[in-house]
Amino acid sequence: MTYKKRLSLLIGLDSVIVLTAIYLSYFTFHPYLNIFTAPALLLSSITLLLAHHFYSSIYSLYKKAWEYASVGELFIIGKVVTLTIITLAVVQSIFIGEIYLRVLMITWMMHVILIGGSRFSWRIYRDAFLRKSKDKKRTLIIGAGAAGTMVARQLLQNHEADLHPVAFVDDDVKKQRLDILGIPVVGGKEQIEDVVKDYEIDNIIIAIPSLSRKDLNEIFEECSKTKVKPYILPMIEDILLGKVSVNQFREVQVEDLLGREPVELDMESISESITGKTVLVTGAGGSIGSEICRQISKFSPKTLLLLGHGENSIYKIDMELRKQYSENFELLPIIADVQDRDRIFSVMETFKPDVVYHAAAHKHVPLMEYNPVEAVKNNIIGTKNVADAADHASVKTFVLVSTDKAVNPTNVMGSTKRVAEMVIQDLSQRSATKFVAVRFGNVLGSRGSVIPLFKRQIQTGGPVTVTHPEMTRYFMTIPEASRLVIQAGTLARGGEIFVLDMGEPVKIVDLAKNIIKLSGYKVDEIGIKFTGIRPGEKMYEELLNENEVHKDAIYPKIHIGKTSTLYMEEVYEIIENYTMDTELLRTKLLDLANNRVGEKERVSVAN
C-alpha cells in the first residue's frame, strides 16, 4: 500500500471512530435525543473530528508503523485523545455554556479503546498469524538483560526471521520466573540442558555483550551437553554503528573461548609514527604480515610497500587493500626474496621507508627440523639482509616479528629466530635505526597452526591428533599479534625485545575438545588420538627466560626483556658456513641460541 492510500485509510477510519465514539456517548445518556439535529451534538462532532486530526498530525500518529507498536505508541494515542477531549470541553464551555462531563469521559474511553484497538489489532494479527505461518526454529536466549530483550523484540517483530524465542535463561534470580515480552525466564545456566529438552529448543543465542571469557566457557560447556549449536550476539559496538543488525548472530569461535581477555592497545598513539609515512612490510602475504598491513592501512600511511616472495599471496592482500583504501594512500606490491641481498638493498634505497616490519620467516617447527639450511637462509640471513638494508637506507624503526619459541629453544626454527634477534640487537648498537623484536605465542588461525588441522580432521570424521595430553601453548588472535608488532614500533628505543603478557597457557587437548564441540559434535563422536611429541617440540613454551624478565610492564600488558649476552662470532660463523653437515648445523644453532658456546668473546647488549 502506498503512503497516500495508507494515510487516506487511517484518516477515514479515525473519522468513523471519532464520530462513533461521540454519538454513542450522547446516546448513552440521552437515548431519546435526535442525534442528527441536536446543535450541541453537531458542534461536538465537528470539534472532535477537527481536533483529533489536528493533534494526530502534530504527534505523527498517521506515520507510525503499527506492526511494531509498543507502549510508546499507546502513550501517543492517549496524549492525542486527551488533548482532543480537552479542546472539546473548552469549545462546549464557550459556545454552549455547559460541559457534558459524563459524555466526555465516555467519549475519551471509547476513543482510546477504538483508536488503540484498530492500531494494535494489526500487530496482534501479525504476531499471532503471520509469524506462525513459517516454520520457525524454537530459540533459547541466554541473558535476559537489555541485549537479550533487544534480541527477543527484534525476532518477535521481524516476521521474516526464522527464529522464534520461547524461553530466556539468566543467572539473576530476580528475573527468574518472570515473563519478558511474553517469554518466560526459566532458570540459570545450570538448567540449559533441561530447558533445551523441555522446550524442544532448536537454536541457542548467547546475548550477554559484557560476558567474560570465563563465564562464556562455562555457558559453552553447558550448551555442549546438548545437541544444539550455540550462537553469539555481535559486538554491541557493531550493532550501534550499523555494521550488523541485532539478528545477525555468529557462531561461537575458538577465540571466544580462550582463557584470557584480548589485549586492546592504544592505537591512537600509533598514528603519529605511521600516518603520512612510507611503511615496508616483509612477508606481507602471510598471516601476520597481511594483518599488519590491514592495521597499518587504518592510519593512512603515505605509501605501503607489500613485499613478499609468493606472488599469489601478495596479489590477494594487494587486491584486498586496494579495494578499500586505494584512494587513501599509495599501495605498491613488491615481489622479492629476503635472501636476495642485492634486491632487498635496491628496494630500500629506492623507496627509503620510515618504518619496516619484518614478518617474512619460515615458522613450521617440524619442517625446519628437516631443513635447517633453509631455516638459516630465510630466518637468519634473510633477517640480516633486511636489517642491513634498513640501516643503509637510514630507516627510522625496524621491528622484527619473533616468537616464544626463541626462548630456550629445543628446535631449529626457534633457534634461528633467537639468532635473528641477536643480529638486530647487535646492529642496534652501531646504527641510527631503532631495531627491536616482538615475541608472542601461537597465532589462532594462522597458516600452519593446529586449528585448521583440527578442523580438517573433524570434517573427515576424526580422530583429532594431539601430540601429548599435557602439552600447553600460549595463544593470541592475529589482530592482537599485529597490533603488538605495530605498538612496539612506537615504544622502540633500540635493542629491546618486547613481549605480550599472554595470560595463562592453554592445553592443546582442551583446545581440541572445544573445536570438536564448536563443530557440533561430542568429543566421543570424533575422538582424540595422542601421537607423541614431534622432533623439536617442547611440552610448554616460554616468552622470556628467567634471566630476561623485567618485573614491571613498559606498557599495559607489554613487557621488555633485560640486557642479555650476544655471541656474534658464532653467529657470523653460522652465516658463513650454513651449508655444513645438517646435524652439526642443528647442534651449533641450538648451542648458540641457548648460550652454550663456551667462554668465547661476548658482546653485551646496551639497553
Nearest residue to 507 via CA among 524, 526, 528: 528
Determine contact, residues 207/143, Cβ cutoff 8 Å. Answer: yes
Determine contact, residues 324/370, Cβ cutoff 8 Å. Answer: no
CA 264/CA 243 separation, integer angstroms? 20
Instruction: State in Å, rounded, how far the first CA of the chain is from the last one.
Output: 75
Q: Which amino acid is at 536?
A: G
Confirm whether 197 is a catalytic residue.
no
CA 512/CA 224 separation, integer angstroms? 14
Q: Which amino acid is at 80?
A: V
- Name the DSSP letter for residue 62: G
CA distances from 319 to 285, 324, 333 (A): 11, 9, 10
| C-alpha dihedral, 119 to 123 to 125 to 129, nearest 10° | 170
CA distances from 83 to 24, 62, 71, 112 (A): 20, 16, 18, 12
Residue 48 burial by Cβ neighbours in a 10 Å radius (0-12, 13-18, 19+): buried
- All cell numbers assigned to 592: 648458540
Grid cell 555481535 is found at 234
Residues in CB range of 511: below 8 A, 6 or more apart: 254, 450, 451, 454, 475
Determine contact, residues 558/499, Cβ cutoff 8 Å. Answer: yes
Determine contact, residues 417/376, Cβ cutoff 8 Å. Answer: no
Residue 242 phi/psi, 5-degree rounding, is: 80, 10
CA 321/CA 293 separation, integer angstroms? 8
Task: Choose the catalytic residue: 405, 417, 434, 538.
Answer: 405
Task: Provide the 3-class DSSP secondary structure of residue 115.
Answer: helix
CA 414/CA 229 separation, integer angstroms? 39
- All cell numbers assigned to 252: 561461537
Pair type for strands 442-444 and 475-477: parallel
Question: Which residues are known to be catalytic?
Answer: 405
